[in-house]
Chains A and B, each alone.
Chain A
Amino acid sequence: MKAETSALNVELPEVLREVPLTEGPVTPGSLDDQILGVTDRKPPRKWFLAIAFTSLLATLGFGFIGYTIYTGIGAWGNNSPVFWAFDIINFVFWVGIGHAGTLISAILFLFRMRWRNAIARFAEAMTIFAVMCAGLFPLIHVGRPWLAFWLFPYPNQRALWPNFRSPLLWDVFAVSTYFSVSAMFWYLGLLPDIASMRDRTENKWRKLAYTILALGWHGSGRHWQHYEKAYLLLAGLATGLVLSVHSVVSFDFATSVVPGWHMTIFPPYFVAGAIFAGFAMVVIVLVVVRESMNLTNLITQRHLEVMNKVILGMSCLMGYSYAMEGFTAWYSQNVYLHHTFLNIIGGTYGWAGWLTMACNIFVPQLLWFKKCRTSYFWMILVATSVTIGMWFERFVIIVISLHQDFLPSAWRLYKPTLVDFGILLGSFGLFFTLVLLFARVLPVIATTEVKGILPGAQPTHGGHHE
């Protein structure tokens, strides 16, 4: 690989040459010391401050969840006709955040985008934590979460079965499959890294934990052969899965007859939105991690720039989707659809519609400029704006469509309560607490994968590799 690349570099003009994936001298050994060594050192004070803050938020959120379970769903602002509100908004929001991780780890893997190796691990971890946050909301929305197992089809003394024509049941299958598959994908990726940690740590207890978690991995050629095959298959399957999961989430809406929900564009529109929101969250967390953990040589400026390009592309797709929503409303000549669309741009919640469009379409256009794609200030600004915008997009879809549907006598405005906001904040607290814990106990960069793409990592003879 090295020989081919260097041979090509001589002939190719400057702009076409392959950019190195890391900066400065990086060897497999230095990589281990930099990434895996983190767990051997005491966390800095700012880490403790950060986790104190986020776990406080999480505790607050769980307090509100406990209050909700004790008193009932009446603690929230949901009421007829807006039966779905913050809970489902947050669910769709968090599931969407998770999709970026699978996209980076699976789809970019299939496309042989080797720059993904440095950020895949972190993005996958974010997927798992985001899906955990997402799963929380339907669970508490059922009101009696200890009976949530009724959602699964199992033979029971009531001789009842769930309704397999309900998209809500499809959701149960999609999200639980997504979570378990993501968790397995992540763990298999971690396996060789945990083996490295097992072999380098001196601490007795940590060695025991890593020994058990590494399952006796010893990197034999035969194991690597099956491992690589499994990883490739998992990536292919996860690609289909990630596209299906948000499509199924969108079916929750699209298969209903509510004006503003009943649209065929919903599945691709939701998938694009999910990747969009997820990449924004990855950028935010990656910038913090890159600076606070001194990873600038591994997560390079180029990573951030490529991610910002993806955000820009997705922003344009979102713009197209919003335009199509308006076009569908006009072209359908359906008064109910007209009314819903006018509500988005001019109703009581019209501000939310315009906030969505501003945050998701107008602000990300800044990323056309290279300066904005490479400056922390601008990329954080855009990513924050996208995160806010995507949350409000779900607010627009759910609350605006529900609060005024076919029957004017049933119209009512929706107003969230303190508990709604508390649980939303709590989910952010839970997410960042898990991210912070992960950053201290497991390798934030897939060292094994990065070792394999360092210059000189692969043999020069043979000449038949990609």
Chain B
Amino acid sequence: MSDFAVLGLFDSADALMKAIPQVKAKKLGRLEAYTPYPIHGMDEALELRRSPLGGMVLAMGILGALTALGAQYWISAIDYPIVTGGKAPWSWEAFVPIMFEVMVAFATFTAGLGMLLLLNKLPFFGHPVLNAKAMRAITRDRFALALEADPELDAEAAKAALRAAGATDLEVLPFPEKGPFLTSDFILRSLGGIFVACAVAGIGMYWAIKLVPTLIPITHMLEQPKVNAYEGSTFFADGRAMLTPVPGTVARGYLPVAAATQEEAAGLANPLPRTPEVLALGKKAFTNRCAVCHGPLANGQGSLGAAYGAKPANLQAGQFQAGGDRPVPSGPLGPPQASGAASQAKPGPGSGFPPYPDGKIYWTIVHGKNAMPSQAADLTVDERWAVVHYVRALQRAQNAKDEDLP
């Protein structure tokens, strides 16, 4: 095996530059110079190609600017359009500063890392000249000219050529020895090391994720000067965190029902007119609060009932009809007819059930019945009565007659 290179040292940049054409003329191998600082004219002397770095940087700079513009446009105009300062979401002028910064970032990292990693192939710790005795002088104050194998090198001829050009301290650099690298022992030990590192990192991350969010102040303002649920307080004598309201206090919009039992409530009249607005309100409240169990048609076929096996009331059943088990009387929509004692007083012909007045439905909404919880906290008085109207409308719709057609 031949040698990698023959190295000759010079004392000045001048001497080195004068020697290069002399040695080059002999055509013994690839010529390379190792110097402590860049020398003017070295590119021409060694006949190096122009560095392609400028083009790389230009291309990556343009790419960076376009990336920033595209990302900002997509985010601000398409994915998350929010009007700020009265500007249109696609107004691009505000994107210019970040475009510039990202362009510079792309370009500089291309210049720096592209030079290091792509063009100079660094980091690389195995270059033969790093092990040369002359290395100390090269990074200090002397200048080396090397004839390198291309692919073979006649070391004696190279030495003679360098000496003739004025070099001192000639040094022959052998190819670096390549020891066995991928032995099974090495692979096993590496895999073991990787496994241990992963295990340690995993356990560390597990505890970090568990513990760190519980540390004050990372608890996202969990610690506050207020009384949390089930916490004692010494602020009031009775240990409560909040004063109990004065007896008889009524929350706005939540008047209590004057009836104690459902039978008493039968006499309540629906105070709301049957207008499209009221029915729309009733539809909304029914859809939000009731339909999940009673079903959108109030026939007891709600999705929750189907999923959990509960048996919500079928409000279309005869027992819940305003006029008993016969269909709602036909005729144009008039004033609320299923109100109070009037409808209660006259059971429908042939019915097994007495009429079911509006007040009873209202009472059930407020207090709940069997498995049904109270809806009082979620529906205002108006919403409850609107639901009653809507239920009536559903009942009529499911029992429509020919005369109901417009």
A: residues with CB less than 8 A from B are: 1, 27-29, 32, 69-72, 144, 146, 153, 159-161, 163-167, 169-170, 173-174, 177, 180-181, 184-185, 188, 192, 195-196, 198-200, 211, 215-230, 233-234, 237-238, 240-241, 244, 248, 251, 448-449, 451-452, 456-462, 464-465
Contacts and interface: CB of A to CB of B under 8 A. Distances in A.
Contacts of A251: 97
Contacts of B114: 230
A462 B36 contact: no
Nearest to B58: A233
A141 B120 CA distance: 42
A27 B11 CA distance: 12
B402 interface: no
Contacts of A170: 97-98, 101
Contacts of B217: 69-72, 144
Contacts of B80: 159-161
Given A241-B104, A449-B37, A218 B218 contact: no
Interface string B240-273: 0000000000000000000000000000000000
Contacts of B53: 226, 229-230, 233
Nearest to A181: B108
Contacts of B87: 165
A219 B35 contact: yes
Contact of A192 (B37, B94, B112): B37
B84 A226 contact: no
Given A184-B108, A199-B139, A224 B38 contact: yes
A252 B35 CA distance: 47
Contacts of B37: 28, 192, 219, 224, 448-449, 451-452, 457
A1 B119 CA distance: 29
Contacts of B140: 28-29, 32, 196, 199-200
A238 to B, nearest CB: 7
Contact of A225 (B51, B85, B98): B51
Contacts of B113: 184
B79 interface: yes
A221 B46 contact: yes
Given A165-B84, A199-B136, A230 B111 contact: yes
Interface string B96-124: 01101110110111011111100110111
B41 A464 contact: yes
A28 B11 CA distance: 11
B104 A237 contact: yes
B173 to A, nearest CB: 12
Contacts of A452: 37-38
B12 interface: yes
11 contacts: A32-B141, A170-B97, A173-B101, A174-B101, A192-B36, A192-B37, A218-B127, A218-B130, A220-B32, A233-B107, A461-B17
Nearest to A70: B217
Contact of A227 (B18, B94, B120): B120
A163 B35 CA distance: 51
A199 B120 contact: no
Nearest to A230: B115
Q: How large is the interface on B (under 10, 10 to 19, 20 to 34, 35 or more residues)?
A: 35 or more
Interface string B45-74: 010100101100100010000000001100
A71 B95 CA distance: 36
Contacts of A198: 139
Nearest to B112: A184
B23 interface: no
Listed residue (A159, A192, A211, A225) with the most chain B CB atoms within 10 angstroms of its CB? A225
B111 A233 contact: yes
**Which 7 A/B pairs are nearest by Cβ-Cβ distance?**
A28-B141, A215-B123, A230-B115, A459-B17, A221-B33, A452-B37, A229-B51
B76 interface: yes
Given A184-B108, A219-B138, A237-B108, A458 B40 contact: yes
Nearest to A2: B14
Contact of A180 (B105, B107, B111, B127): B105
Given A192-B139, A195-B139, A220-B34, A459 B40 contact: yes
Interface of B: 12-14, 16-18, 32-44, 46, 48, 51, 53-54, 57, 61, 71-72, 75-76, 79-80, 82, 84-85, 87, 94-95, 97-98, 100-102, 104-105, 107-109, 111-116, 119-120, 122-127, 129-130, 135-136, 138-141, 216-218, 220
A165 B75 CA distance: 11
A169 B116 contact: no
Given A225-B51, A458-B39, A462-B41, A177 B139 contact: no
A459 B11 CA distance: 12
Given A164-B94, A251-B97, A181 B104 contact: yes
A144 B18 CA distance: 64
Given A28-B140, A164-B76, A196 B36 contact: yes
Nearest to B68: A173
Contacts of B115: 188, 226-227, 229-230
Contacts, number: 224
Contacts of B75: 153, 161, 164
Nearest to B35: A219
Nearest to A463: B41
Contacts of A153: 71, 75
A161 to B, nearest CB: 4
Contact of A462 (B38, B40, B98, B218): B40
A177 B17 contact: no
A251 to B, nearest CB: 7
Given A216-B124, A451-B141, A234 B112 contact: yes
Contact of B135 (A29, A71, A218): A218
Contacts of B36: 28, 192, 196, 219, 448, 451
Listed residue (B36, B100, B141) with the most chain A CB atoms within 10 angstroms of its CB? B36
A200 B280 CA distance: 88
A217 B218 CA distance: 45
Given A227-B115, A465-B40, A222 B46 contact: yes
B109 to A, nearest CB: 7
Contacts of A160: 80
A29 B108 contact: no
B111 A237 contact: yes
Given A164-B94, A181-B104, A221-B32, A229 B138 contact: no
A456 B44 CA distance: 20
A211 to B, nearest CB: 7
B98 A226 contact: no
A198 B130 CA distance: 10
A233 B54 contact: yes
Contacts of A233: 53-54, 57, 107-108, 111
A61 to B, nearest CB: 18
B233 to A, nearest CB: 23
Contacts of A177: 101-102, 104-105
Nearest to A458: B40
A237 B32 CA distance: 30
B120 A223 contact: yes
A165 B81 CA distance: 12
A444 B11 CA distance: 26
A238 B101 CA distance: 11
Contacts of A144: 217-218, 220
A441 B17 CA distance: 34
A224 B42 CA distance: 9
A256 to B, nearest CB: 11
A198 B38 CA distance: 19
A128 to B, nearest CB: 15
A456 B12 contact: yes
A389 B38 CA distance: 42
Contacts of A241: 101, 104, 108
